[in-house]
Amino acid sequence: MEHDDHNHHQNHHNRKLLPKRIILVRHGESEGNLDTSAYSTTPDHKISLTEQGLAQARQAGSHLRDLISSHASSPDWRVYFYVSPYERTRSTLREIGKSFSKKRVIGVREECRIREQDFGNFQVEERMKGIKETREKYGRFFYRFPEGESAADVFDRVSSFLESLWRDIDLNRLHNDPSQDLNLIIISHGLASRVFLMKWFKWTVEQFEHLSNLGNCEIRVMELGHGGEYSLAIHHTDEELLEWGLTTEMIEDQKWRCSPNKTSWFNHCSWYLDSFFDYLLDSDDDCEKIYVESDGDTEKNYVDTDS
């Protein structure tokens, strides 16, 4: 009983330290978004924002501040930023930061593991066009760019980042006051953000392949529900989620995560198990019966074949 009480206390304590929101933000419009030939002369990590991209980032900052302040359970809310080391994400952060006073920002960290997918070094435009056509045929998740990465490679490093993020939260390395609403804002890239969501919500490779990319300075808001789970369905509408490529089953899962009284995840998300198995029997007795019948058929077939 003491052990159970300790676990209850620990879970309650950790719940207090959980961020109210985890918000993913893609960078503003870059020179590479405007003209892909920029990648042939400028290293990807040095591609800068356009004037439009800078304006998008400033607008995103205003939108984020309004979103957080108007839905805060306490007026004493705070933000903590994680940012990719690329020039376009750092510039996006600088512009977003103009919407937040110093007292609101409790920290910022440059995080290499949420950088853009590595497409190789300098990218020759005509060659990259052919390579991307090949990727569409091969599959976006597993295709590895020559001298670069696949989305699966990005998944591995984003997974490592997520482990570190949880340790930061669990050990309160962010120095969060539990009485304040904490909002983590992760400024990254389109693919890294989709892979982040894939890892977090246990989406399959097939589901990932149907996700649409984030627009420049577009956001995805994961908000903490009453049951202690994060969900996209608290802030975003069904129409938005469908537009982003989520299936109706995935949307139902997001709504389930909002609920304070939940059955087990596998019982609720039968579609997830169904994507791996043809069918699962209800009881061990049924499995044993199928095994015996199957074994009898094998033995009969063996005798018939031998004769």
Positive or negative, the CA dihedral 250, 251, 254, 256 is negative
Catalytic residue among 29, 31, 116, 149: 116
Query: Token pair 């300098």 is at which residue?
Result: 122
Question: What is the residue whose two structure tokens read 């590595």?
Answer: 118
* 6 in catalytic set: no
* Separation of alpha carbons 266 and 110, rounded Å: 36
Q: Which two tokens stand for residue 259?
A: 């609920």
* Residue-wise DSSP of 237-288: -HHHHHHTT--HHHHHHHHHHH-SS---HHHH-HHHHHTT-S---SSHHHHH
- Active-site choice (27, 29, 189, 236): 27
b/e sequence 142-152, b meaning 16+ C-beta within 10 Å? ebebeebbbbe
Q: Is 305 exposed, middle or buried (0-12, 13-18, 19+ CB in 10 A)?
A: exposed
- Indicate if 27 belongs to the active site: yes
- Which amino acids are annotated catalytic? 27, 116
